[in-house]
Amino acid sequence: MASPLVGNWNYPTAVKFGAGRIRELPDHCKALGWRRPLLVTDPGLARLPMIDAAMQAARAAGLDVALFSELKPNPVAKNVEDGITVLRAGRHDGVIAWGGGSGLDTAKAIAFMAGQTRPMWDFEDIGDWWTRADPDGILPVVAVPTTSGTGSETGRASVITDERTHTKKVIFHPRMMPAIVIADPELTVGLPPQLTAATGMDAFAHCLEAYCAPGYHPYAEGIAVEGIRLVKAFLPRAVADGTDIEARSHMLAASQMGSTAFQKGLGAIHSLSHPIGAVLDTHHGLTNAVAMPYVLAFNRAEIEDKIVRLARWIGLSDASFDGFMSWVLELRRTLHLPHTFAEIGVKPEHLDRFSEMAAVDPTAGGNPLPAGVPEMRQMYEAGMAGRL
């Protein structure tokens, strides 16, 4: 008999995993000593019954909870600033981060900035800038993911767009890691097939880039490989039948595995994706899915042996680099995802600017092969033409 998909994990934060475990939310808030939590989510989720039910349960437990949902799909600094204003005005003592990447990242940034006096951009993930923060000014977070993509619930950073420059920036601090994660796959059941596919490909991209990134981190590589195996086995099932709790559970785990693994590094999939998302407001996971094969092709000389090992591990019948590439392309076709950057709104006149932005993106340094402006341009052009 198979084991139930339920568990309490510390990897590295406390994860309460399993269907129906959202009922524990008030208890976990109280365990952290909260009286007045602020629930942060996106506008679409804010209108759904799950949010109303969570608010009612919290109030029934004696918590004076409030809601903030004024944020964009690719959150910008103003969303964080507005949330901080609401948090301070309500004298909130903790943040419930609820949603996909946009809700989770915004909530974590609000909690991080709650008691800071310096501007948010002073804490960008550059060198030791995180040490500038006052740790006593950071509020704890309970994270509740509703997608299986970014894995932000188990990450120590938030990606926020600087509207002045239309660049995505990573805000980092070790204490941005949520104190508790409630990973309830039932909350992902209502996600439409196309969003399930796009977010699932984001989890895949995180695992794949972590696995391929240079450097020695066998823990991260092992987690990434198993995450990719779970994506292969369960993403098509989750897209085909959104009520498949087994598939939803495994994809939720794969998402968290991706965000845990990519402490080893990311690469040009994200470097190419970030400028497109920041300027054109495309879905991050979808953009990663489009970029993936072109980056694999560019990096082939450096990663081929690793990809062959990966292909064997996940059970591909053709355990070669070409076999792996064919599987990636077939997976995208099965999920009805676009093949080219042009299909998601990128135009030739964007490429000069995007190439410059991609070359200085914080993820560029983790690419297996060095990639400056010319190399980024090369991958963008391949992705525009669908050329592999």
How many domains does one find in the chain? 2
Number of Cβ within 10 Å of residue 298's Cβ equals 22
Could you count the other beta carbons within 10 Å of the beta carbon of residue 349? 8
Confidence of residue 4 (pLDDT cuts 50, 70, 90): confident
pLDDT at 1: 57
The whole-number pLDDT of residue 9 equals 66
Q: What is the mean pLDDT of the chain?
A: 96
Alpha carbon 192 to chain centroid distance?
17
What CA–CA distance (Å, rounded) separates 375 from 377? 5
Q: What pLDDT does residue 10 have? A: 67
Amino acid 8: pLDDT: 78
> CA 168, CA 170: separation in Å to the nearest integer?
7
CB-CB contact of 25 with 51 (8 Å)? no
What is the tally of helices (H) and strands (E) in the chain? 13, 9
* Torsion (CA) 326, 329, 335, 340 in degrees, nearest 10: -170
Same domain, 281 and 315: yes
Residue 195 has a pLDDT of 95
Domain's final residue, options 165, 187, 209: 187
Residues 126 and 219 in one domain: no
pLDDT at 177: 95
Residues spanned by the domain of 336 = 192-385
pLDDT tens-place string over residues 300-318: 999 999 999 999 999 999 9
Last residue of a domain, one of 187, 218, 249: 187
Q: Using one digit for the tens of pLDDT, what is the confidence trace for 236-267? A: 999 999 999 999 999 999 999 999 999 899 99
- 2 assigned to some structural domain: no
Q: For the segment 261-294, what is each residue's pLDDT rounded down to a tens digit?
A: 998 999 999 999 999 999 999 999 999 999 999 9
